Amino acid sequence: SRDEIVEGTGNGVHVGSVSLTTTGSSGAYKLRDGVNNYTTDLNGSTSGTGTEFTDSDDVWGNGSTSSRQSAAVDAQYGAEKTFNYYKNVQGRNGIWNDGRGARSRVHYGSNYVNAFWDGTQMTYGDGSSNSNPLTSIDVAGHEMSHGVTENTAGLDYSGDPGGLNEATSDIFGTMVEWYSGNTSDPGDYLIGEEININGNGTPLRYMDKPSKDGGSYDCYRNMSGVDPHYSSGPLNHWFYLASEGSGAKTINGVSYNSPTCDGSTVSGIGRDKVAKVWYRTLSTYLTSSSTYGAARNGAIKAAKDLYGASSAECAGIEKAFTAISVPA
């Protein structure tokens, strides 16, 4: 049989019924797209590359974890959307900017409640008896964005750069969720809301007010020794404030209430523009040791490059950094 790039149908745990780009021809298909993003089954193993998913009718999964294909549909969909987001919105041709897709491995280990990027590939656990597979769109976008950060600024994973690194993954994970237009997992400013990682329906992280997770900081401070998943808080907060503005707001049925650290009022310039500014900052102005202060200076330069020195966009980016306690 010949390999052709075709459109299949997936039924994911989180993404519902979706169209997926697959490879194959009558009777023999692979969960692989035209740039070689593909998904393999670890089937409980914690090593090796897994077995590539294959299917005879190009209809994948049934939406339930009773089918091992369902989480694979989520992972493949997340990889395809993340690739397309970077390519079509940010002008970056994949994680390595060379047109290559990446492998995603699903069903890692047993009751594994995490997902990770290891420099080469994506890996997802199935979650535990009271949480869900880790294969949601924002988590896929988050993990693959660690690959983008590694291949651009190369931000260290401790102190200030550690927080910037984690927040970059939350920012682009969220942007991929919005970009996908998926109606089963619509865009929001929450991270991991589909995973039920706390067992009570709450998300892993909140971008409007990061301290709602019980650990993250809302405002910049000394980040020495702070877990990057908590030192990410101020930049996630900056992203929300710059996008949507301060105060209370309901978007897509989700209520947000974002305070500033200095009592100022901030108006949003829209998430698409903020994400463009942040990608330019990451890929042009930051290095492995960049601080929050360098992020402020780099983002203002990026906003000038993209929108002009006297633009409302540039003013909004700057004001949002002041509002998270990163001074000029």
Q: Which active-site residues does the annotation give?
A: 143, 229
d(CA 195, CA 49) in angstroms, rounded, equals 24
The residue (of 8 and 163) whose beta carbon lies closer to ligand ASN is: 163
**Partner whose binding site includes residue 116, from Ca ion, ligand ASN, Zn ion, none (CB under 5 to 8 Å by kind):** ligand ASN
The residue (of 114 and 325) whose beta carbon lies closer to Zn ion is: 114
Amino acid at site 42: L
**Partner whose binding site includes residue 261, from ligand ASN, Zn ion, Ca ion, none (CB under 5 to 8 Å by kind):** none
d(CA 13, CA 32) in angstroms, rounded, equals 19
Q: At what angle do helices 271-280 and 312-323 cross, to 10 degrees?
A: 80
What would the x/- binding string for ligand ASN be over residues 146 to 165, using CB under 6 A? Answer: x-------------------
CB of 31 to Ca ion, least distance (A): 23
Of residues 143, 131, 150, the one with CA closest to residue 170: 143
CB of 191 to Ca ion, least distance (A): 6
* Residue 256, beta-bridge partner list: 249
CB of 47 to ligand ASN, least distance (A): 17
* Cβ atoms 326, 290 nearer than 8 A: no
Q: How far is CA 303 from CA 33, 80, 270, 312, 316, in A?
A: 34, 28, 13, 10, 9
CB of 229 to ligand ASN, least distance (A): 6
The residue (of 18 and 95) whose beta carbon lies closer to Zn ion is: 95
37: left (phi over 0), alpha (psi -120 to 50) or beta: beta
Beta strands in 172-305, from DSSP E residues, in sequence order: 190-191, 205-206, 247-251, 254-258
The residue (of 80 and 177) whose beta carbon lies closer to Ca ion is: 177
| CA angle (125 as vertex; 123, 131 as ends), nearest 5 | 145
d(CA 308, CA 121) in angstroms, rounded, equals 38
Ranked by CB distance to Zn ion, the top (closest) residue is 169
The residue (of 114 and 291) whose beta carbon lies closer to ligand ASN is: 114
> Is 114 a binder of ligand ASN (CB under 6 A)?
yes
CB of 192 to Ca ion, least distance (A): 7
> Is 169 a binder of Zn ion (CB under 5 A)?
yes
> Which range in 138-146, 259-267, 276-284, 311-319 contacts ligand ASN by CB under 6 A?
138-146
Sites of contact with ligand ASN (CB under 6 A): 114-116, 142-143, 146
Sites of contact with Zn ion (CB under 5 A): 169
